[in-house]
Amino acid sequence: MLKCYDCLEEGKDSEAVGVCIVCGKGLCMEHIQQVEFPMKGGGYPLPHKTLKKGLPRMMCKECISSILGDGFCV
């Protein structure tokens, strides 16, 4: 059974429901964040267009902050 890494650092024991796609640590519902990244589609090499709906990705708060900046809200 995978445990939440962030909970273990806080002295709690929680089961992980998913993993961060960047760092790979297990995360519980309290610590996991869903982020939608815009996706591009199209032919090679061009034209490219932004798809109507982005792909949801599960990440930890630290990786979101590192990649998208502190001002990013989820």
Domain range annotation of the chain: 5-67
Q: For 30, phi and psi rounded to 5 degrees?
A: -70, -35
Longest Cα separation, the chain:
51
pLDDT, mean of residues 41-61: 77
Does the pLDDT value for residue 74 go beyond 60? no
Q: How many residues does the chain have?
A: 74
Q: What is the pLDDT of residue 16?
A: 97
Question: pLDDT of 56-67, one tens digit each?
Answer: 889 999 999 888
Average pLDDT taken over every residue of the chain: 85
